[in-house]
Copies of this chain bind each other. A is one copy, B any other.
Amino acid sequence: GETIRATLFPGDGIGPEIAESVKQVFNVAGVPIEWEEHYVGTEVDPRTESFLTWESLESVRRNKVGLKGPMATPIGKGHRSLNLTLRKELGLYANVRPCNSLPGYKTRYDDVNLVTIRENTEGEYSGLEHQVVRGVVESLKIITRQASLRVAEYAFHYAKANGRERVSAIHKANIMRKTDGLFLKCCREVAEKYPEIQYEEVIIDNCCMTLVKNPGLFDVLVMPNLYGDIISDLCAGLIGGFGPDTPVATSVKVAFCLAEAVHGSAPDIAGMNLANPTALMLSAVMMLRHLQFNDQADRIHNAILKTIAEGKFRTADLGGKASTSEFTNAVCDHI
């Protein structure tokens, strides 16, 4: 087989350590990937208007696939958010997060098995805001037919390809009749092309109430940007959260595929061999599936689940005593 080149952003804080874990696991599983590693710069690159270097963006553009650790955007003016820059520059329009209860790791929920698909380019994230008069400000939420159709198409295609039964469009069209109304209209159009997939529409407030009462009622959820931001984190919380404290959720961007751990960079425990690499490993698994390395993806995924279920080598955030490398070694042993 040939070797694939992929971009790796280890990120900052605990990023380099957990990226090391992924590299180790990939080696043991025999994944034929050669990494192009790029760190976030220490000053603003005028060509990207951010701390991301031009070369690092070019690397992802060329390779079309990447893995990204946590990146904290430095505070200050004159530069753009790292995460938003990546999404925008690479056109990462769908943010996909499978969310499953981890066997053997107890939370208040053991019945979570859903996928959130978030439109990731527009909506409340337009960046368009201004002061109308003193003391009165407005933000613009933009919804387009083009972006709505493509994320809806992605959701239904995903549902079909992954044996899912239902797509729920989440909205607040009873209030935002035009913007969320257009989003729903696009979802309905796409739904017509997938008669084998059930389709429903759920108002966001009701959706959140149902999620905390009975998440098992949901399958695939598709929604505009801000609702996706809120609901995907809510869902991550149901299975234990994904913070540096309990990183057990995963995220992957498509078109270009840039898998990323969604937790923070936890500077307080950086370099201490304490971080839990699960979220980045699960992201790496999604990257492998994107590349159709399904065999390696399955072996690594099962090894992660087994290690957590056994419980002997859990990291501190999951109530255990293992270090990052002990956990990683245990995963490698299970591969």
| Binary flags per residue of A155-191, CB closer than 8 Å to B gives 1, else 0 | 0000000000000000010111111011000000000
Q: Which residues of B contact A178 (CB under 8 A)?
A: 129-131, 137-139
Given contacts A137-B182, A138-B140, A213-B241, contact A125 B175 (CB under 8 A): yes
* Minimum distance in angstroms from A101 CB to a CB of chain B: 13
The stretch from A14-22, A225-233, A252-260 touching chain B is A225-233
> Are B142's CB and A141's CB within 8 A?
no
Does A279 sit at the interface, judged by CB under 8 A? no
User: Whole-angstrom distance from the CB of A230 to the nearest CB of chain B?
Assistant: 5
- Copies of this protein in the complex: 2
Contacts A109-B108, A226-B172 given; indicate if A138 touches B210 (C-beta within 8 A): no
Q: Which of A212, A213, A237 has the most B CB atoms < 10 Å from its CB?
A: A212
Q: Using a Cβ–Cβ cut-off of 8 Å, how many residues does chain A contribute to the interface with B? A: 55
- A143 located at the interface, meaning its Cβ lies under 8 Å from any Cβ of chain B in the complex: yes
In the complex, what distance in Å separates the CA atom of A73 from the CA atom of B222? 26
Complex Cα–Cα for A82 and B209 (A): 22
Say if the beta carbon of A29 comes within 8 Å of chain B: no
**Is the Cβ of B177 less than 8 Å from the Cβ of A129?**
yes
CB atoms of A233 and B205 under 8 A apart: yes
Name A136's contact: one of B138, B144, B233 (CB within 8 Å). B144
Name A's B-contacting residues (CB within 8 A): 81, 107-109, 124-125, 129-132, 134-146, 172, 174-179, 181-182, 204-206, 208-213, 226, 229-234, 236-238, 240-243
With A108-B108, A208-B234, A209-B236 already in contact, 20 other A-B pairs whose C-beta atoms are closer than 8 Å: A81-B174, A108-B212, A124-B172, A124-B176, A131-B178, A134-B145, A136-B144, A137-B181, A138-B142, A138-B178, A139-B143, A140-B140, A140-B141, A141-B141, A175-B226, A205-B233, A208-B233, A209-B241, A213-B237, A213-B241
